[in-house]
Structure 1
Amino acid sequence: MAALKTSTTWIKGQEFESEHDGNKINVDGDKKNGHGPKALLLSGLAGCSGIDVVDILHKMKVEFSDFSIDVEADQTEEHPKVFKDIQVTYRLKTATDNLEKVKKAINLSLDKYCGVSAMLKKNSAINYTVEILN
């Protein structure tokens, strides 16, 4: 497997543009014209786990819609300020009797498949909740 590579170019101030496979995002330490770097880590966790959960639920033939993921992290006070605890909230519309299947899909993602989760867990606890929407 080829190495994962991004190219990041300074724009001005604390703003950068990062490119991967032709896709571009802005990274901004001031958070005016892009995500801050740590927020990108949390978005990466949500995206990585979300992709897994969607794939697993489809394989389980669980019907769902309106799927969203919120991720919050507490940080240490001292530098380097790293994540202490990460809380992930999964929200989706599905039948309430699918809750155990949804939890199984999330556990498989966070414990087995999501590489971002595996990396972040080396430093931070990751906890989650599930909200079934009606």
Structure 2
Amino acid sequence: MNTKTTWKGGLAFESTYKNSSIHIDSNNGFSPKALLLTGLAGCTGVDVVSILEKMRVPFADLKIEVQTEQTESDPKVFKDLHIVFRLKTGEENREKVKKAIDLSLEKYCGVAAMLRKNSSISYILELEPEF
């Protein structure tokens, strides 16, 4: 894996990976730490979608919110991480969705594994009425 990040002035950077780029700006956009939280959401989201599809669980509108606070002193690092998973599916699928999330957070998501070395990770699952 290899990324390239170029300073654009002020606190702004552009980072490229493969054929994609992302704007990083601590004042007017995603900060590096916000990108880390986004990476956790994306990593676990990819796993959960893949697992639910393999389990043939019908769902829609998966939304993942990652919440944390930072320590007061430098270097300011994340305290405990809390994830809210929201998706539309029937209540009868709750245990399968929880299993998919657990597998992601405990086995497959490398971002979660790295962050867990410093911070605990917890989650809640909110099911919305079936589509």
Q: TM-score range by the shorter chain?
A: over 0.9
2:53 is the alignment partner of 1:63: no
CA–CA separation in structure 1 for the residues paired with 2:80 and 2:121: 6
Structure with the larger RCO, 1 or 2 (CA within 8 Å, 6+ apart): 2
Match of 1:108 in 2: 103
CA deviations over 1:84-131 (Å, ceiling 9, x no partner): 110100000000010000000000000000000000000000000000
Match of 1:18 in 2: 15
Q: Which amino acid aligns with 1:14?
A: L
Relative to the length of structure 2, the TM-score reads: 0.97
Alignment of 1:8-87 (within 5 A): 8-30=5-27, 32=28, 34-87=29-82
Structure 1 gaps of 5+ residues are: none
**After the TM superposition, which segments of 4 or more aligned residues of structure 1 sit over 3 Å from their partners?**
none
SS at match of 2:41: helix
Count residues with an aligned counterpart: 129
CA–CA separation in structure 2 for the residues paired with 1:74 and 1:102: 27
Give identity over the alignment, percent.
Answer: 57
Relative to the length of structure 1, the TM-score reads: 0.95
Question: How big is the shift at 1:74?
Answer: 1.2
SS at match of 2:38: helix
CA–CA separation in structure 1 for the residues paired with 2:56 and 2:19: 33
Give RMSD over aligned pairs. 0.5
Structure 2 gaps of 5+ residues are: none
2:122 is the alignment partner of 1:122: no
